[in-house]
């Protein structure tokens, strides 16, 4: 093995669950006449909307396409600004840029790493069009305050809830808290369609615009034209092919039924990690706000190197060597080369996110992860902290 080849971790940080009922659902579609733009797409959208407390949901090819479509739907144009946190996957900011918009990075709260409403307020200019909140790790943002700010300044409130399917705030599900809420179904997310995404909304107009954008800016699909016995169609705006297949949506429907049990499982495993840190000072879980039902897409801790006696890089490499697929979510987007060169962003812009980036570590968390494995991960972490110079690792039974 060459030096730069890295061994595949044996325990990933995130992982899908597929069972026989999922497989049967997909195969059923493959045996049918509808592979795309058919009944399973509509059914997935209908059930999904109900699940997340929305009236409309539009399924798309992936979460990034869903974000892009949301930016189209709000009428984002060249020079329009969207305020978002830097502690997110690059796709959140990229979607703004794809519509010609300018991403304006506002800092996060130090305890939760969620978008800080005061920082949002301070970033508003006459060009601000929208707030794009990110439910980092699966915890809903402070939507009550963000809603007040959005209303006061006439802004659209969009949620990147790719981490937060199944989460809620004071009993209201994520999907009902913003004007548009975006979800993704990549295999590491709460449910999977392989690749897939969704925008949920309470606005029929936003939903219509997203459907238009999903289908080349054409007002009808080929099924609608067949029903009306016409070959004519109107392309009224520039759009994409961001459609999703019926077999993906059949998988999504089958997965959605298991979401509540999977969220409970993620919460229980997260609690198991969190309890362990009581005897491991220097490992600090993120704060969870009052009234939050957390979806725990990620289990993130902050590592205080001065307390632990070892730093994040050391822990990261030793855990990886032990076969534990830890990860770092995320390098702040404003520090990415593309954003530095295109928008002149750089260090100092969001000091809270930048400081957090030096300390954060995502530990494995997914529904099929066993309690014993969580305990072994905790023990391995403990052993590395206690013997920082040795490479020794406790055995996995
Ligand atoms: C996964 C993710 C996306 C993009 O979703 P894809 O389906 O991978 O395109 C966007 N934003 C966040 C925060 C994500 O975690």
Q: Kindly give the pairing relationship between strand 128-134 and strand 292-293.
A: unpaired
pTM score: 0.95
Query: What are the DSSP calls for 76-135, one per residue?
Result: --TT-EEEE-SSS-HHHHHHHHHTT-EEEE--B-TTT-SB-HHHHHHH--TTEEEEEEE-
Say how far apart CA 391 and CA 383 lie, in whole Å: 10
pLDDT of residue 220: 79
H or E segment and range at residue 283: strand 283-285
Is the distance from the beta carbon of residue 92 to the nearest atom of ligand 1 less than 6 Å?
A: yes
Give residue 169's pLDDT: 98
Supply the pLDDT for residue 225: 77
Whether the CB of 86 sits within 6 Å of ligand 1 = no
Residues 265 and 252 in one domain: no
**Bridge-partner residues for 131, per DSSP?**
83, 157
Which residue among 61, 182, 186 has the greatest number of ligand 1 atoms within 8 angstroms of its CB, and so is best to mutate? 186
Check whether residue 230 and residue 359 sit in a common domain: no
Q: What is the pLDDT, as a whole number, of residue 390?
A: 54
Residue 91 CB–ligand 1 contact under 6 Å: yes
CATH number for the domain spanning 85: value is 3.40.640.10
In this structure, the answer to whether residues 75 and 171 fall within a common structural domain is: yes
Closest CA to 131 of 110, 111, 101: 101
Q: 362 vs 38, 62, 92, 250, 373, CA distance in Å?
A: 38, 23, 19, 30, 15
* Domain-embedded: residue 392: no
Nearest-angstrom CA–CA distance, 390 and 34: 58
Set 170, 189, 258, 341: catalytic member: 189
d(CA 249, CA 238): 25
- Same-domain pairing of 59 and 161: yes
Residues with Cβ < 8 Å from 66, sequence gap 6 or more?
58, 60, 182, 183, 184, 197, 198, 199, 242
* Residue 189 designated active-site: yes
* Domain span including residue 308: 3-12+259-386
391 within a domain of the structure (yes/no): no
- Distance in Å, CA 220 to ligand 1 centroid: 28
Q: Are residue 244 and residue 176 in the same domain, yes or no?
A: yes
Give the count of domains, the chain.
2
Instruction: Compute CA 68 distance to the chain's CA centroid, rounded to the nearest angstrom.
Output: 14
Residue 392, pLDDT score: 47
Alpha carbon distance 263, 269 (integer Å): 10
| 278 and 251 part of one domain | no
121-159 pLDDT, tens digit per residue, is: 999 999 999 999 999 999 999 999 999 999 999 999 999
Determine if the peptide bond prior to 102 is cis (ω within 30°): no
> End of a domain among 227, 256, 285?
256
In a domain, residue 270? The reply is yes
> Within this chain, do residues 237 and 333 fall inside the same structural domain, yes or no?
no
Q: Do 217 and 346 share a domain, yes or no?
A: no
Are residues 181 and 99 both part of a single domain? yes
Indicate whether 248 and 311 sit together in one domain: no
* Residue 217, helix vs strand vs coil: coil
Helix ranges, the chain (H): 20-30, 39-51, 63-73, 90-98, 117-123, 143-153, 204-214, 222-227, 246-256, 259-276, 305-308, 312-321, 337-343, 351-357, 371-386
**What's the pLDDT at 1?**
43
Asked if 102 and 82 count as a contact pair (C-beta separation under 8 A), the reply is yes
Answer with the one of 236, 256, 276 that is the final residue of a domain: 256
Last residue of a domain, one of 226, 256, 286: 256
Ligand 1 pocket residue status of 197, Cβ below 6 Å: yes
Domain CATH for 275: 3.90.1150.10
Is 293 in the same domain as 367? yes
pLDDT in tens, 21-42: 999 999 999 999 999 999 999 9
Give the pLDDT confidence score for residue 4 in this predicted structure. Answer: 55
Residue pair 316/358 in contact (Cβ under 8 Å)? The answer is no
Taking only Cα atoms into account, the Rg of the chain, rounded to an integer number of angstroms, comes to 22
Pocket test for ligand 1, best of 59, 62, 63 (most atoms within 8 A of CB): 63
* CA distance linking residue 393 with residue 397, whole number of Å: 12
88 Cβ below 6 A of ligand 1: yes
397 in any annotated domain: no
Q: Distance, CA 38 to ligand 1 centroid (Å)? A: 25
Identify whether residues 30 and 151 lie together within a single domain: yes
Regions of the chain short of the pLDDT cut 70: 1-9, 388-397
């Amino acid at each position: 093995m060459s030096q730069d080849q890295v061994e595949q971790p044996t325990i990933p940080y995130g992982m899908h669950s597929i069972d026989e009922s999922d497989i049967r659902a997909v195969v059923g579609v493959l045996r049918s006449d509808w592979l795309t733009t058919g009944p399973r797409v509509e059914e997935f959208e209908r059930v999904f909307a109900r699940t997340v407390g929305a009236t409309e949901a539009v399924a798309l090819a992936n979460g990034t396409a869903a974000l892009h479509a949301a930016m189209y739907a709000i009428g984002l144009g060249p020079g329009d600004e969207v305020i978002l946190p830097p502690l997110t996957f690059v796709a959140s900011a990229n979607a703004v840029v794809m519509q010609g918009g300018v991403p304006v990075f506002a800092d996060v709260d130090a305890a939760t790493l969620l978008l800080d409403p005061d920082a949002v307020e301070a970033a508003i200019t006459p060009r601000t069009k929208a707030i794009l909140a990110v439910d980092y790790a699966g915890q809903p943002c402070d939507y009550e305050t963000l809603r007040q700010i959005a209303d006061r300044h006439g802004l659209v409130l969009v949620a990147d809830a790719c981490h937060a399917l199944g989460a809620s705030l004071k009993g209201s599900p994520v999907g009902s808290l913003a004007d548009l809420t975006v979800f993704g179904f990549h295999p590491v997310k709460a449910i999977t369609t392989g690749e897939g995404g969704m925008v949920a909304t309470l606005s029929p107009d936003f939903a219509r615009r997203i459907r238009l954008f999903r289908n080349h800016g054409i007002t009808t699909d080929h099924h609608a034209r067949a029903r009306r016995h016409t070959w004519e169609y109107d392309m009224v705006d520039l759009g994409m092919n961001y459609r999703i297949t019926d077999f993906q949506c059949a998988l999504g429907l089958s997965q959605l039924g298991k979401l509540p049990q999977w969220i409970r499982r993620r919460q229980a495993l997260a609690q198991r990690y969190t309890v362990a840190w009581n005897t491991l000072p220097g490992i600090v879980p993120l704060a969870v706000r009052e009234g939050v039902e957390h979806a725990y897409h990620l289990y993130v801790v902050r590592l205080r190197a001065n307390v632990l006696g070892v730093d994040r890089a050391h822990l990261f490499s030793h855990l990886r060597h032990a076969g534990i697929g830890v990860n770092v979510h995320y390098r702040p987007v404003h520090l990415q080369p593309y954003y530095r060169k295109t928008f002149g962003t750089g260090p100092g812009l969001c000091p809270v996110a930048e400081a957090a980036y030096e300390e954060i570590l995502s530990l494995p968390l997914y529904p099929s992860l066993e309690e014993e494995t969580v305990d072994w991960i905790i023990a391995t972490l403990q052993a590395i902290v206690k013997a920082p110079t040795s490479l020794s690792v406790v055995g996995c039974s």
